[in-house]
A and B are shown apart, each in its own frame.
Chain A
Amino acid sequence: MSKIVVLDYGSSNLRSVAKALEAVSESKDHVTVSNNKQIIIAADRVVFPGQGAIGQCMQNLKAQALDDVIRECINNKPFLGICLGLQSLMDHSDEDGGIAGLGIIPGKVRRFQSNVRDENSTVFKIPSMGWNQVFQKQVHPLWNGIEDGSRFYFVHSYYVEPKIESDIAGETEYICKYTSVIARDNLFASQFHPEKSQHDGLALLKNFVNWKI
């Protein structure tokens, strides 16, 4: 029996995440989407998916006191951040004119540089939208059965720049080489969307559901 709660702060991709978790869980009844503090704190595992703009995300988290719930959960249970659920863990983001993040992982969130061209003089589009390779920088239970350099689905204009090297669990290259996965203790957070990354994404979610700390 494992209760998995998808934290609902009003992001648009909750259903996709819940459906993917249901597909890899033993019994789908254990996956709940909730913004209720008690339910989230009582969960065995928490998934924090995010999408959209970080300013709105931080505002919603604070308005519902979910920022403190996240801090509490990160200390004591398997915790998976996705996309904005990774970026909002940092100290600060350049998005929306500069926004303070949750400050759980030291470092910043930066925007991809505009008007950079590739070797065929085609401009790199922003957002980075599509399947890109993730190179694993840590041996981690969530990488079990996933080949190094596998492709995952990304949609983002900003990327994280962690201060502490040992927090980096995956790297990707687009315009620059950047951190696409952070892992520390019971926290694992990806810039890509495992719920939309077919076999390898589902494998990662299954590893999360079975992750023993």
Chain B
Amino acid sequence: MGLAKRVIPCLDVDNGRVVKGVRFIDIKDAGDPIEVARRYDEQGADEITFLDITASSDDRDTMLHVVEAVASQVFIPLTVGGGIRTTEDIQRMLNAGADKLSINTAAVNNPEFVQQASNQFGSQCIVVAIDAKQVSDDPLKWEVFTHGGRNPTGLDAIEWAKKMAAYGAGEILLTSMDRDGTRDGFDLALTSAISEAVDIPVIASGGVGNLSHLAEGVLKGRADAVLAASIFHFGEHTVAEAKQHMVDRNIEVRL
């Protein structure tokens, strides 16, 4: 008995609308992030992550309204990522009702930003997102990438994770760019390597295609939380089914 492993559905939001095909029975508007978030909350999601993929910065205020509306109806932790570059961005999202902000490119461009943000707002609300790609087999090595895996940074993923933890990140959201979208399961070697290297919680992301993958993320990847998008979006599985599967594999979850 103790702390439960978390299951976190992730929603990609473009200009205020959920994208990448969300399909639910008895839902009026599957593109409405509020309705989708409420559905995941009812299914027992432990947190919800929104990734703002809006291309134009002019449209970013739309995300603020989405967060505000969700936060007045859904009372579980909400994480927002995408386009968080300044402490003003963080302040605005917190005021809208976000609990944690996920920082990716801005951390790579200016690592001190993470330090500054965690000093100002507390490390509990600063999540550093790391997109990693395997660059060597022997020894196993992963490099940090930005811009959806297009831009190499030259940073070793394990060293980067340690640095971000030392700079005050409260948590790491780790995505394998090799597995993202493949439905082949998490990169378990990467996940366990990062989880062992830092003493802050690690959320595994990228590649979930079935419920067994979620359990393996915890059991073999040593992740503290597992994040998935498509297996929940397409109505293949509910969050409740995911948790029941984890219980069957002797993983402690909140039911």
Q: Which of A52, A156, A196 touches B77 (beta carbons < 8 Å)?
A: A196
Q: Which of A123, A125, A153 touches B76 (beta carbons < 8 Å)?
A: A153
Residue A210 is within 8 A (CB to CB) of chain B in the complex: no
Tell whether, in the assembled complex, residue B200 and residue A125 are in contact, meaning their CB atoms are under 8 Å apart. Answer: yes
Q: Which of B194-214 contact A (CB under 8 A)?
A: 195-196, 199-202
Residue B107 is within 8 A (CB to CB) of chain A in the complex: no
Residue A122 is within 8 A (CB to CB) of chain B in the complex: yes
Residue A104 is within 8 A (CB to CB) of chain B in the complex: no
Known pairs A127-B201, A129-B171, A173-B1 / 7 extra A-B pairs, C-beta < 8 Å? A115-B199, A130-B3, A131-B254, A133-B1, A151-B254, A174-B2, A196-B99
Q: Which of B2, B75, B124, B196 has the most CB of A within 10 A?
A: B75
Contacts A16-B97, A114-B199 hold; do A127 and B71 have CB atoms under 8 A apart? no
Residue B60 is within 8 A (CB to CB) of chain A in the complex: no
B92-117, CB under 8 A of A: which get 1 and which 0?
Answer: 00111101000000000000000000
Residues of A in contact, count (CB < 8 Å):
37
Residue B46 is within 8 A (CB to CB) of chain A in the complex: yes
Residue A65 is within 8 A (CB to CB) of chain B in the complex: no
Tell whether, in the assembled complex, residue A132 and residue B224 are in contact, meaning their CB atoms are under 8 Å apart. Answer: no
Q: Could you say which residues of chain B place their CB within 8 Å of the CB of A23?
A: 72-73, 75
Tell whether, in the assembled complex, residue A52 and residue B41 are in contact, meaning their CB atoms are under 8 Å apart. Answer: no
A33-77, CB under 8 A of B: which get 1 and which 0?
Answer: 000000000000000000111000000000000000000000000
Residue B121 is within 8 A (CB to CB) of chain A in the complex: yes
B1-43, CB under 8 A of A: which get 1 and which 0?
Answer: 1111110000000000000000000000000000000000100
Q: Could you say which residues of chain B place their CB within 8 Å of the CB of A15?
A: 71, 94-97
Tell whether, in the assembled complex, residue A12 and residue B125 are in contact, meaning their CB atoms are under 8 Å apart. Answer: yes
Please report the C-alpha to C-alpha distance between residue A133 and residue B2 in the assembled complex, in whole angstroms. 7
Tell whether, in the assembled complex, residue A52 and residue B95 are in contact, meaning their CB atoms are under 8 Å apart. Answer: no
Contacts A15-B94, A52-B124, A114-B199 hold; do A202 and B46 have CB atoms under 8 A apart? no
Q: Which of A16, A122, A128, A132 touches B99 (beta carbons < 8 Å)?
A: A16
Contacts A12-B122, A51-B122, A151-B254 hold; do A127 and B3 have CB atoms under 8 A apart? no
Please report the C-alpha to C-alpha distance between residue A5 and residue B254 in the assembled complex, in whole angstroms. 31
9 pairs, A vs B, C-beta closer than 8 Å: A12-B125, A15-B71, A19-B71, A125-B201, A128-B3, A132-B3, A132-B4, A196-B77, A198-B76
Tell whether, in the assembled complex, residue B77 and residue A132 are in contact, meaning their CB atoms are under 8 Å apart. Answer: no
Q: Could you say which residues of chain B place their CB within 8 Å of the CB of A22?
A: 72
Q: Which of A125-145 contact B (CB under 8 A)?
A: 125-133
Please report the C-alpha to C-alpha distance between residue A155 and residue B77 in the assembled complex, in whole angstroms. 10
Please report the C-alpha to C-alpha distance between residue A114 and residue B198 in the assembled complex, in whole angstroms. 11
Q: Could you say which residues of chain A place their CB within 8 Å of the CB of B201?
A: 125, 127, 129-130
Tell whether, in the assembled complex, residue B224 and residue A196 are in contact, meaning their CB atoms are under 8 Å apart. Answer: no
The distance from the CB of A177 to the nearest CB of chain B, in whole angstroms, is 10
Tell whether, in the assembled complex, residue B2 and residue A132 are in contact, meaning their CB atoms are under 8 Å apart. Answer: yes
The distance from the CB of A44 to the nearest CB of chain B, in whole angstroms, is 23
Residue of B with least CB distance to A201: B75
